[in-house]
């Protein structure tokens, strides 16, 4: 792995499916609009070239085999190759996420809904529920003092 990958990749390899298998039920998704209109993901200034429809599609497929399970996707930090196209990134990313079958949930509604209502709202064919919302809807619990987020130290300044 390159020094940049060691900094930007904060989870073990295997994508969302591996994380779901390990118990994750919430994801922080950061879209990145490429000049060709493709939406991929990014961490900081580093894009990852997995189409967002493929990544969210994996979550949908997993959910269809896991009844009564909610997967929550928080979408934030939309960026683009053309720095002036932030709004276009949001529009395109929203279309692509919606096309996977994930169901949009307005941030203001989350606090007023029961778990059962959210499960029904994001219901997938034969299975669980996948809902997504945009920015500022969840409170992050990232703790920089925890050193087990990945298998290697993630601070760029500490990488040889």
pLDDT tier for residue 14 given thresholds of 50, 70 and 90: low
Taking CA 47 as the corner, what is the angle to CA 45 and CA 49, rounded to the nearest 5 degrees? 175
Q: Check pLDDT > 70 for residue 60.
A: yes
Coil, strand or helix at 70: strand
CA–CA separation, 12 and 150 (whole Å): 6
CA–CA separation, 112 and 65 (whole Å): 27
pLDDT for residue 86? 80
Q: Check pLDDT > 80 for residue 11.
A: no
The pTM of this model reads: 0.79
Lowest mean pLDDT among 2-16, 55-69, 99-113, 146-160: 146-160
pLDDT tier for residue 155 given thresholds of 50, 70 and 90: very low
pLDDT for residue 24? 87
What count of other Cβ atoms lies within 10 Å of the Cβ of residue 61?
Answer: 15
pLDDT for residue 126? 79
Q: Which of 37-51, 59-73, 80-94 has the highest mean pLDDT?
A: 59-73
């Amino acid at each position: 792995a390159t020094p940049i990958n060691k900094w930007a990749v904060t989870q073990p390899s295997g994508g969302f499916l591996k994380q779901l298998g390990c118990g994750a039920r919430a994801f922080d998704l950061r879209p990145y609009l490429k000049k060709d209109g493709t939406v991929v993901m990014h961490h900081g200034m580093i894009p990852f070239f997995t189409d967002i429809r493929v990544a969210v599609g994996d979550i949908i497929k997993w959910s269809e085999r896991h009844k009564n399970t909610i997967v929550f996707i928080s979408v934030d930090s939309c960026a683009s190759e053309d720095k002036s196209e932030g709004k276009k990134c949001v529009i395109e990313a929203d279309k692509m996420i919606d096309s996977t079958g994930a169901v949009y949930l307005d941030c203001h509604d989350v606090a007023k809904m029961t778990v059962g209502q959210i499960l029904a709202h994001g219901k997938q064919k034969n299975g669980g529920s996948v809902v997504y919302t945009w920015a500022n809807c969840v409170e992050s619990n990232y703790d920089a003092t925890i050193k087990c987020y990945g298998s290697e130290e993630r601070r760029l300044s500490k990488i040889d």
